[in-house]
Structure 1
């Protein structure tokens, strides 16, 4: 199958219609990709735009934007230059920082549902797999680069992933294409360059089919990753409570492998990535700590905690915003969410005789008592937090709807019986979005 045929099939499978964006560095890979995409866009009458990220890390790169504009223009393709600032420092990987800045800039340019095409090829896939082995990665890392993945509001597609650099070079020679060479690609201090320049050529000399067999291994790992994620989602549906806590008792019934699988997946969903050793520490010192302990594990900006037999990763949220006067029929920002009081009887509502201008939002009020709807007798709010399973770190962030100094509702948790409109009565409906 030719490069163009493969591209057509790839887009047919993942993105049959809509505008196409190209990550265009000006190098061999993205130049071949742009030429192929220009042909496809013309034949299918689709919009095409090239995006060149200018990192500004080396003097040679200053000439690349002009080259990209000329080449894209010769193909009738608009090209946008995206300058970025790359973080540098003694403990910062310039390679990783540049990649993060590049993808952030590219993702920001994608309209909702649009596709970004990148020129990754078979040799890149092998390098990614070897780097994952070097890090001691699990199947998520060994699955290497997928052909299609989510990116920003759209998706990223790698239509050249089944073709080697040699095939791209042959196409470029046939089309007499010109491209830029990045001088930093010769610097073997970078891990990927070392593999590309020193290791992979020797592997291919010894085993010419190595790239394709290694890519097959990555594809098999990707299949296993899909299965493990499906199992984790199934387990989470049983183990997770409404506050996104994960049941320790439920985890204890699993084998070590199944427990670690769902833990990794749940933690990644919360934006927390743990190494194998960190996961072992989390289980032994946090999940299995004595019942009266309040253990905490900090990983970067995230925190793993335990409460009432559940594991939690408290969300990093905006500060709560107290609202001294509520305005009916309009949304008001509470920092941790937003609230609208509207007249009607379809939702949970406050009694009609309570004037909305007498209501306000407060946070962290102490000494309150309340009787939630459907219950008899009032209890201290502190006891109710425990009964409803609200962890201590979440309680100061629960918006309290107050009528003067009386609690009307803990938004998202309960409404007090004394203030609840009856089913056949209209009242001020509470619409709260976290």
Structure 2
């Protein structure tokens, strides 16, 4: 199968229609990708845009934007130049910082549903797998690069991932293509360059099929990762409480491997990606701490806490925003989430007799008592927080819907009995989207 036929088939399987964007560095891989994409776009009358990210890290790179624009124009394709600033400093990987800046810029350009094509190939996949082994990564790292993944409002596709770099070089030579060479690619102080220039050629000399078999191993790890994620999604609902805490007793009922899988997935959803040793420390120092302890483990800019037999990752972003007035049908940003009150003919949860202009949002009001609908009697709000298992650090972030000095609802927790709507009666529907 020719290179174009392979590319055509992968795009048909991955993204049969819609606008195409090509990440175009001007190097060999992305030049071949752009030529293939331009041919397909012309045949199928699809929109095609080229994006070149200019980092400004090298003097020689000043000429690359002009080169990219010229190559794209010769193919009848629009080329946008995206200039980014790469934040560098002590203990900051220039490679990682440049990659993060590049993908942030590319993602920002994608309209909803669009696809960004990148020129990663089989040799790149082998390098990524070797780097993951060097780091001691688990199946998520060993799964290497997927052929498709979400990016911004669209998706990133790697349609050349099954093709060797030698096949791209052969195509480029046959087509008489011209491309830029990044001099930093020869610097073996960078891990990926060391693998590409020194290690991978040796491996492929000894074992010519190494890149392909390594890619097969990555694909098998990706399958196992998918199964692990499915298992975690099956386990987690029964382990979490209403406040988002994770039950330690529930975790202890699982096998160690299944427990670690659920815990790792739960932490990942909250932006915490722990190494194996960090996960062991978290389990030992938090989950297995004495029952009356409230330990805290700081990890990067986040915290992992324990309270009443549950683990929590407190939200550290966003300050609560009180509101003196509310508008009907309008979403209100409270800093810790968004709230809306709508008038509905049925399935209301707040009594329709309440005048919206008399309500306001407050936080951490001292001395309140409340009688949640469906429960008997009133009690201090502090006591209710304990009964509902709300950790102390979350209590000041719960919006309180107030009528004067009376509590109408603890948003996201309960509505007070005196203000709850009757079943199937018109009234106010309180809607809440918590910060994640």
TM-score (norm 2): 0.96
1:123–1:351: structure 2 CA closer, same or farther, 3 Å change rule? closer
Instruction: Tell whether the 8 Å contact from 1:343 to 1:428 is kept in structure 2 after alignment.
Output: yes
Q: Is the 8 A contact 2:248 2:310 kept in 1?
A: yes
Inter-partner Cα distance in structure 2 for 1:344 and 1:165: 61
CA deviation after TM superposition for structure 1 residue 272, in Å: 0.4
Q: Is 1:430 matched up with 2:413?
A: no
Q: Is the 8 A contact 2:346 2:425 kept in 1?
A: no
**Does 2:232 match 1:232?**
yes
What is the CA deviation profile of residues 376-412 of structure 1, one whole-angstrom value per residue up to 9, with x for unaligned ones?
A: 2110101111112222111111111112111111111
Once residues 116 and 413 of structure 1 are traced to their aligned partners in structure 2, the CA distance between those partners, rounded to angstroms, is 41
Please state whether the residue corresponding to 2:263 is helix, strand or coil. helix
Offset at residue 424 of structure 1 (A) = 6.2
Structure 1 residues 27-426: aligned runs within 5 Å: 27-423=27-423, 425-426=425-426
Alignment partners' CA distance in 2, 1:229 and 1:426? 42
Mark the runs of 5 or more structure 1 residues left unpaired by the alignment. Answer: none
Alpha-carbon RMSD across the aligned residues, in angstroms, is: 1.5
Please list the CA deviations of residues 198-232 of structure 1 after superposition, one character each: whole Å capped at 9, or x if unmatched.
11111111111111111111111111111111111
Which string of whole-angstrom CA distances, capped at 9 and with x for unpartnered residues, describes residues 250-282 of structure 1? 110111111111111111111100011110011
Distance 2:181 2:315 in 1: 44
For 2:342 and 2:214, the matched residues in 1 are separated by 60
Alpha-carbon contact 1:347-1:430 (below 8 Å) kept:
no
Secondary structure of 1:394's partner?
Answer: helix
Q: Which runs of 5+ in 2 are unaligned?
A: none
Quote the Cα distance in structure 1 between the aligned partners of 2:23 and 2:245: 39
Relative distance call for 1:133 and 1:17 in structure 2 (3 A) is same
**Cα 1:113–1:352, aligned 2, differ >3 Å: closer, same or farther?**
closer
Q: How many residues align?
A: 434
Q: 1:345–1:423: 8 Å Cα contact kept in structure 2? A: no
Change (3 A) 1:68 1:364: same
Query: TM-score under structure 1 normalisation?
Result: 0.97
Q: Is residue 26–residue 67 contact of structure 2 (8 Å, CA) maintained in 1? A: yes
Q: Distance in 2 between matches of 1:103 and 1:241?
A: 36
The question of whether the paired residues in 2 share the 8 Å contact of 1:267 and 1:273 is answered with yes
